[in-house]
């Protein structure tokens, strides 16, 4: 999820991007942010194409043992940042002619994704989160059972249903990344964890990284504890399946992540080791899907946006107790990675592990790549008319496997967008990831809305004169879809009491 930088700085405030300026900023920012969020520890690394600019650990990897966070040695889980490695592996196989991004994925797997909507799902759909298949994530397993590996897991569970036509709805999917990793396993002849070891981690000298679960003994002693609150007790080690999950099981250090970032910033090459061809890297950095005009989109592996005139490639990652963010400025040859080992205190729909990462990157842009403040945007004359068209009940396009029509929790997640007499619209507190308050929006161009007294943005998708979905920029990677009346919470919640 990616949010706007505020644009409050001016070019006169520009600081050179160098070690001393970054250190002075982060040495002030990070300790205060960790205390405020009740997060035990963090690692931050900033890299250029050819060299690491800055790296440092803050706080503790193990609070009780007073073991400090170390960007070279502390291993953390990075959650969905793992997906960028999975899609890199897919593109390596595309380069070798073993995969076609536009072929039915059933041609590559040994079980079947059922037909639906008259169209097959392709790797391109998986990589841009537009496959239309309901999500299925990894699972905790009881102590008396060993986690299944990727093949065992995927071939023994029923594929989740297909709920949207492929290519039409943006809906983030862990299951899609599992399929991508399994396809690499099938066409390469190597188990996914071995493939990543042999073709990504070893060539990049990422010697403190692995997809293997449990983490190998050589790295287990370096693995940070994971906390809900830094002031509390650590969580027990996870026992999830599929082990070696392509969607989220990478464990790594900040220093190792810098090598991966530098390869993607340097046309696919790191220290004379070629990870990808330059043309492949360009394809992975080019917007491949933009579901909302003027809004955010996906590349073949990253999320894509433009902030303060800068192209940003990003991927967040979130696990219980571990949170990470990878940001690349490809045109500037700059990469930033931050990893946290605690959830932090709650704020809005999320924890402060999210807001800390968001504010960190916003301040990075404002301090080292500032622009003139945006001029106030005039309200569009169509605001009142479009506010009425937009009003109604919506639901998140990302549907977990536990959701069904009569699931009370699912119905309670419905979002009501309200139109106001002055032509503004209002979204409820649950749609604010960082503020936990209702927000008001003014239309500034047809079906694009700017936050009143804020810097957020909403983009709307209109079909045949009707608003069918919308996307606020801090609910990145899935849409809010209009709910037909027969499925509305207004109609169906009362039925749950009978």
In order along its 498 residues, the chain shows pLDDT tens digits of: 444 444 444 444 678 999 999 999 999 999 999 999 999 999 999 999 999 999 999 999 999 999 999 999 999 999 999 999 999 999 999 999 999 999 999 999 999 999 999 999 999 999 999 999 998 877 788 888 889 999 999 999 899 999 999 999 999 999 999 999 999 999 999 999 999 999 999 999 999 999 999 999 999 999 999 999 999 999 998 888 899 999 999 999 999 999 999 999 999 999 999 999 999 999 999 999 877 776 778 999 999 988 878 999 999 999 999 999 999 999 999 999 999 999 999 986 789 999 999 999 999 999 999 887 777 889 999 999 999 999 999 988 887 654 444 344 444 568 899 999 999 999 988 776 666 789 999 999 999 999 999 888 999 999 999 999 998 877 667 889 999 855 555 655 444 445
| Close Cβ partners of 135 (under 8 Å, ≥ 6 residues apart) | 160, 171, 172, 173, 174, 175, 398, 399, 400, 401
- 445 forms beta bridges with 448
**DSSP codes of every residue in 217-241:** HHHHTTBPP-BSSTTSPBPPPP-EE
Q: What are phi and psi of 26, to 5 degrees?
A: -70, -30
Which among 77, 121, 41, 67 has a CA at the least distance from the CA of 252?
77
The answer to whether 59 touches 39, Cβ cutoff 8 Å, is yes
| Close Cβ partners of 235 (under 8 Å, ≥ 6 residues apart) | 225, 226, 227, 228, 320, 321
| Close Cβ partners of 264 (under 8 Å, ≥ 6 residues apart) | 88, 275, 281, 284, 285, 313, 328, 330, 335
Count the Cβ atoms, other than its own, within 10 Å of residue 127: 26
**Preceding omega of 214 cis (within 30 degrees of 0):** yes
| Close Cβ partners of 96 (under 8 Å, ≥ 6 residues apart) | none
Structure tokens at 404: 């069904």
Structure tokens at 160: 């989740």
Handedness of CA 360, 361, 366, 372 (dihedral sign): negative
pLDDT value, residue 81: 98
The answer to whether 296 touches 303, Cβ cutoff 8 Å, is yes
193: enclosing H helix or E strand? helix 192-196
H helical segments located in 234-342 = 254-265, 278-285
Cα 106 to Cα 166: distance, rounded to the nearest angstrom: 14
Number of H helices and E strands in the chain, helices first, is: 13, 24
Query: What is the separation of C-alpha 191 from the centre of its chain, rounded to a whole number of angstroms?
Result: 25
| Close Cβ partners of 325 (under 8 Å, ≥ 6 residues apart) | 81, 314, 315, 316, 317, 336, 337, 338, 357, 361
Structure tokens at 450: 């700017």
pLDDT value, residue 406: 36
pLDDT value, residue 484: 80
DSSP state of 301: S
Which among 132, 137, 136, 135 has a CA at the least distance from the CA of 163?
132
DSSP state of 17: -
Structure tokens at 105: 């994925």
pLDDT value, residue 454: 87
Cα 250 to Cα 245: distance, rounded to the nearest angstrom: 8
Angle at 427 between CA 497 and CA 395, to 5 degrees: 50
Q: What are phi and psi of 153, to 5 degrees?
A: -65, -50
pLDDT value, residue 9: 41
- 34 forms beta bridges with none
pLDDT value, residue 409: 40
Cα 97 to Cα 110: distance, rounded to the nearest angstrom: 20
64-72 contacts, C-beta under 8 A, 24 or more apart: 68/41, 69/41, 69/42, 69/43, 69/224, 69/341, 70/43, 70/253, 71/43, 71/44, 71/45, 71/253, 71/254, 71/255, 72/208, 72/253, 72/254, 72/255
């Amino acid at each position: 999820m990616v949010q706007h930088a505020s644009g409050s700085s001016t070019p006169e405030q520009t600081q050179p991007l160098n070690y001393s300026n970054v250190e002075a900023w982060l040495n002030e920012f990070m300790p205060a942010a960790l205390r405020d969020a009740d997060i035990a520890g963090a690692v931050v690394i900033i890299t250029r194409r050819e060299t690491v600019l800055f790296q440092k650990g803050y706080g503790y990897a193990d609070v009780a043992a007073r073991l400090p966070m170390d960007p070279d040695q502390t291993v953390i889980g990075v959650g969905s940042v793992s997906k960028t490695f999975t899609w890199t592996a897919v593109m390596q196989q595309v380069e070798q002619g073993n995969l076609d991004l536009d072929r039915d994925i059933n041609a590559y797997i040994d079980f079947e994704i059922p037909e639906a909507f008259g169209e097959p799902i392709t790797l391109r759909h998986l990589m841009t989160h537009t496959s239309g298949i309901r999500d299925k994530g990894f699972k905790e397993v009881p102590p008396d059972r060993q986690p299944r590996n990727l093949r065992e897991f995927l071939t023994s569970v029923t594929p989740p249903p297909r709920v949207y036509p492929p290519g039409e709805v943006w809906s983030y999917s862990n299951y899609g990344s599992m399929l991508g990793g399994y396809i690499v396993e099938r066409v390469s002849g190597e188990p996914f964890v071995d493939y990543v070891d042999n073709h990504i981690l070893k060539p990049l000298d990422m010697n403190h990284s692995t997809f293997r679960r449990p983490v190998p003994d050589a790295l287990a002693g370096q693995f940070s504890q994971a906390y809900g609150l830094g002031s509390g007790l650590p969580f027990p080690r996870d026992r999830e399946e599929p082990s070696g999950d392509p969607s989220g099981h990478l464990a790594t250090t900040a220093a190792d992540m810098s090598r991966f970032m530098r390869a993607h910033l340097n046309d696919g090459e790191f220290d004379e080791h070629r990870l990808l061809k330059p043309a492949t890297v360009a394809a992975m950095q080019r917007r491949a899907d933009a579901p909302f005009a003027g809004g955010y989109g996906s590349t073949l592996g990253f999320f894509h946006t433009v902030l303060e005139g800068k192209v940003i490639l990003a991927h967040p990652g979130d696990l219980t107790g571990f949170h990470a963010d990878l940001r690349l400025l490809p045109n500037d040859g700059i990469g930033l990675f931050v990893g946290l080992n605690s959830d932090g205190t709650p704020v809005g729909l999320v924890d402060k592990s999210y807001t800390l990462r968001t504010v960190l990157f916003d301040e990075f842009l404002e301090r080292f790549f500032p622009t003139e403040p945006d001029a106030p945007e005039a309200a569009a004359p169509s605001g009142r008319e479009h506010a009425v068209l937009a009003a109604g009940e919506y639901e998140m396009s990302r549907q977990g496997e536990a959701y069904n029509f009569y699931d009370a929790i699912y119905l309670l997640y419905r979002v009501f967008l309200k139109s106001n007499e002055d032509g503004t619209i209002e979204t409820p507190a649950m749609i604010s990831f960082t503020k936990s308050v209702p927000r008001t929006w003014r239309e500034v161009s047809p079906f694009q809305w700017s936050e009143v007294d804020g810097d957020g943005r909403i983009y709307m998708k209109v079909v045949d004169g009707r608003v069918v979905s919308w996307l606020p920029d801090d609910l990145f990677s899935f849409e809010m879809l209009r709910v037909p009346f027969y499925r509305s919470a207004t109609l169906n919640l009362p039925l749950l009491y009978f």
